[in-house]
């Protein structure tokens, strides 16, 4: 394959442009060049967030290790509470191991917020009779309710309801659809 002189020249210019575009100048910016009074990390390794020009703010380095751990735990608990749907295997009401830690976070939240109410909605896939699926959805909702009570929530905070197969999360007759329909949803009121 022969390349013309013009094609070779174009390839050279393109290569040089790519190399020039990827290189850095080696210059560094000074602290004042950003025009900000926010320091990402102070000398002790803690981050500081400033609220204004007077230098007041909150510094993570001012917190004790215990306070930092408590904040991290609260943040982790809050993140886990974003999970409100719990799935079940076929024809069982047994809570899966991977759901237990998240349910404990919900139980602690309910324990710490006695005025908070939650509705536990039990569901089943389309296989089986309507009556059987209503009973299975109820067993699943009751299993979650018992778990939450054992871990600190009050029975008065919860209401259980079963929809059986009547409110599928996913339409279809495949194992994937069925797996997504075998669930209990926590609906906080």
What string of pLDDT tens digits covers the 189 residues of the chain?
Answer: 555 655 665 666 556 555 555 555 555 544 444 444 444 444 444 444 445 555 555 555 567 888 888 787 777 777 777 999 999 999 999 999 999 999 999 999 999 999 999 999 999 999 999 999 999 999 999 999 999 999 999 999 999 999 999 999 999 999 999 999 999 999 998
Residue with tokens 């759901």, as numbered in its chain: 99
Q: Over the Cα atoms of the chain, what is R_g?
A: 29
Distance CA 87, CA 180 (A): 7
Q: Which CATH number fits domain 84-188: 3.90.550.10, 3.90.1150.10, 3.30.1330.60, 3.40.50.300?
A: 3.30.1330.60
In the prediction, which pLDDT does 135 show?
A: 97
Cα within 13 Å of Cα(110), Cβ side:
26
| Residue boundaries of the structural domains of the chain | 84-188
**pLDDT score for 58:** 54
CA distance 122 to 102: 17
């Amino acid at each position: 394959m022969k390349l013309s002189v013009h094609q070779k020249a174009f390839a050279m210019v393109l290569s040089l442009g790519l190399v020039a575009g990827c290189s850095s100048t080696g210059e560094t910016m000074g602290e004042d060049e950003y025009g900000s009074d926010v320091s990402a990390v102070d000398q002790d390794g803690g981050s500081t967030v400033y609220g204004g020009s007077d230098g007041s703010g909150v510094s993570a380095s001012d917190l004790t290790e215990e306070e930092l751990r408590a904040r991290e735990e609260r943040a982790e608990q809050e993140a886990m509470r974003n999970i409100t749907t719990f799935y079940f295997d076929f024809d069982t009401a047994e809570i899966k191991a991977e759901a237990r830690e998240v349910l404990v976070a919900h139980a602690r939240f309910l324990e710490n917020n006695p005025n908070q109410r939650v509705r536990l909605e039990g569901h089943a896939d389309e296989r089986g009779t309507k009556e059987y699926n209503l009973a299975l959805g109820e067993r699943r909702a009751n299993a979650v309710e018992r778990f939450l009570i054992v871990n600190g929530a009050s029975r008065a905070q919860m209401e259980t309801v079963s929809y059986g197969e009547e409110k599928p999360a996913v339409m279809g007759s495949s194992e994937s659809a069925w797996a997504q329909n075998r669930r209990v949803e926590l609906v906080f009121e």
